[in-house]
Every structure is written in structure tokens, then in C-alpha cells.
Amino acid sequence: MQVLAQILFVAALATAAFFIGRRVILIKKTILLGHAEDRTDRPAERLKTMLLIAFGQKKMFNRPIVGLMHFIIYAGFLIINIEVLEIMLDGILGTHRLFYPLLGSIYGFLINFFELLALGVVAVCLVFLIRRNVIKVPRFQESRHREMTSWPRTDANIILITEVLLMWAFLSMNAADTILQQRGVGHYAEASTGNFLVSQWLQPVFNNWSDTALVTYERIAWWFHILGIMGFALYVTYSKHLHIFLAFPNTYFSNLDPKGEMHNMPAVTKEVKIMLGIEQPDATPAEVGRFGAKDVKDLSWKNLMDAYSCTECGRCTAACPANITGKKLSPRKIMMDTRDRLEEIQKGWLQNGHEYDSGKTLLGDYITEEEILACTTCNACVQQCPVNISPLDIILQLRRYKVMEESSAPGSWNAMFSNLENNMAPWKLSPGDRFNWAENLNNP
């Protein structure tokens, strides 16, 4: 019977690893649809950024209470995985509490710490569920933000409820295990761990159960906990919660330039320098390609990683002055639309092969001209993002395409462009009159 359980466990682990691995490879291939962009400079600064923003959750603590609650879930996720390692080894080797003989009294301390974290995770997840479904925080509601349809809300609830159930399985499993130890039942008696801080309060629920019922429940809770974690890991690759993993590389490859610094296209800069006589034209000029971006393939791989790293928290949209004043722009929707477009391309690959083209584009079919023209380029969204995503970069590239490829710009913009070309300033003033306004500044 034990050998059969080991075989089933290894089969489940291999199945989960296969599907997770396949999904990871597909996501990586999708991200690499974007064009090349070098983000390997200043490695020490990049490592510091990753440790502060992703590992240290620095930006989350801009709102201390929510930041602390998020940190509890985050710490629980990272640290409780040590306990998951023991469960996996027990499943493979057919052992029970493998680390107990090796760690001795330290083992009890660790499990107590894990249980306190598990209790914290349950409490925080319940608070977050109340915030989303009872209090109904405005930035999570479709009535205020059209991108928050039923699926994003359902996705968040699935994750929170799953975490509560997994932590309950862990705590109740320990409670049943402890009672079986005290009764000296089978191999449970070999690990005399004593009572644990949290699960001991659940023991009265199981005190009147028979040994057989306790063993059955403990095994069901054990299997539910570990299979649930495998399923959770696979589900995350389809969910906004992929940021659990991608936050680390995404913050490492952050844009380290000062916020507000916009990068010109090298080809355009070269043409301007040639016009000014600063550079000489190449004998065989390189093909410029597309100005700006119309679809995801025109964006960089970092833009696409940003889309997969988006937490859908809505802090960017809540800080966006265009959105606050009622305009249709929502930086969160820009990132969600980019990811949805990537997911559509993936489905086309899987159903029709990698040469399939649906004919859709990011600009037009997902993101409208009205949205991108509403952006003031203030960088509020970039500043607020807890994982250093830049919706602004995508907006600027889409807008560049509209203006430079389609010659589609508002009349006021065209007037400004004309003034820049003729007067070297946005205003309709000759260069010689530019400082007339300052002539009487020193007069009382």
C-alpha cells in the first residue's frame, strides 16, 4: 500500500512538473516575441533594486497596513515552502516527518513558526476577501473600471480561497497527526513532536474521532495540501498571480534611467543629425522598420514581461490624473490588454500552429486611440507600481505609431509640431521674440 502511494505521488509530481514546465516555456516564448532590449548594465544597482522592491516589498509599504498584510502572505508563501519540501520528500521516500530526527528540538520551533505564518495567511486572506466582496474597494470594481470584469475578480477570489483551504489543510493535518502521536498509533508515534502553537487549538475537533478516522483525515489533508500546492503552481501560470515569480526578474530588469526621460528612436535621431550636418549619411542605410508599435511584436521583451508581471492591483490607475478626471485611460487596462493579446496569440499557436495570424492588433482591437491620447506622460503610474512596470512606455510607443506611421494626431498636436519645426518651440512665436516677455521683469 505504501509503495502504491509513493508511485501515485511521484506520478502526480511528474504530471504537475510537465504541465508547469510546458506552460513556462510557452510564456517565455511569448515574451521573446518582443524585440531585443539591453537591460544588463549596472548589475549591482539592478540587484539592489530587486532586493528592495521585489524581495523587500518596499513600494507596498507606501500604504503601511495593506503593505504589512501583503508581506504576511508573501512571507508565508516563501517560508512555508520549506515545510512543503519535507512533504514532497515524505511522499517520494514513503517516510513521515523526515526532518524530525535530523533537526530534533529545532523541528518543533520551525513548525510552530510555520503555523503562526499559516494563521497569519488565513487571517489576511479573509480580510482581503472582505475588502473585495463586502467593502468593495472602488479600484477593484467594474462599475468604476471597465477592465475589472467578472474574470479578474473571480481570479483574485480563487487564489485567496485556495490559500485559506491550503493553510487549513496544513493546520488540521498537524492537529490530527499530534493526536495520533499521543495515542501511539503506528508510525505517527515515532515523531513525538508534542503540541504545536496553533494546531493544538483544533485538537478538540478531533479528540472523539477513532484512530481509523483520524488516520484517514490526516492522509486526506496531507494529499489535499500537497496536490493543492501543485495545482496552485500550475494555475498561477494562467493567473495575474504569476507576479509571485516574475516580480523578481521584472524588478531586476527595471528601467534605471530617471523617470520622465524618453528615448528617441535611433533612426530618427540619426536623420535629424544628418539634416543638421552633425553626421554623414551611411553608404547603405539600414532599414528603419516600423515607427512605434502597433502590435505586441513591435514592443520590447521587457514590455511583454511587464504585462505578465502585472498584479492588477490598480495603484497605477488610482494615481492616473487622466483616469481621475473621467477619461478612458486606465494604465492597468493597458497592461491587462497587452497580456490578453499575448494570450490570444498563444491560443492561436496551440490551435493553428505558429504561423497563424488572427489579423488582430494591440492598437485598435484592444487599446483605443482615445485611451493613449489621454495620457499626460506624468509617470504617476510608473511611480506607483509595486513591481516597477511601465505602462507609459507602451502608451508612448503606440502613440508614436499613430503619429509617425498613420499621420494621425489631434489638430492641436499638429499645430505644435509645426511650431516646433518652424520656430523651435511649441508656441507660434518667432525665435527672435522668444524673450520679449522678460523685458519688463525688473520694473516695479
**pTM of the entire predicted model:** 0.89
pLDDT for the residue numbered 286: 64
Q: Which residue has the cell 501543485?
A: 230
Q: pLDDT tens for residues 354-396?
A: 888 888 999 999 999 999 999 999 999 999 999 999 999 999 9
The candidate with the shortest Cα–Cα distance to 37, out of 393, 303, 377, 381, is 303
pLDDT for the residue numbered 172: 95
pLDDT for the residue numbered 1: 67
Q: pLDDT tens for residues 97-106?
A: 888 888 888 8
How far separated are the first and last CA of the chain, in Å rounded? 99
- Would you give the distance in Å from CA 22 to the centre of its chain? 19
Q: Is 377 left (phi over 0), alpha (psi -120 to 50) or beta?
A: left
- pLDDT < 70 regions, the chain: 1, 283, 285-288, 444
Q: Which residue has the cell 508599435?
A: 293
Q: pLDDT tens for residues 179-208?
A: 999 988 888 888 777 788 999 999 999 999
- DSSP H stretches of helix in 310-390: 315-319, 321-324, 331-352, 362-365, 369-373, 380-384
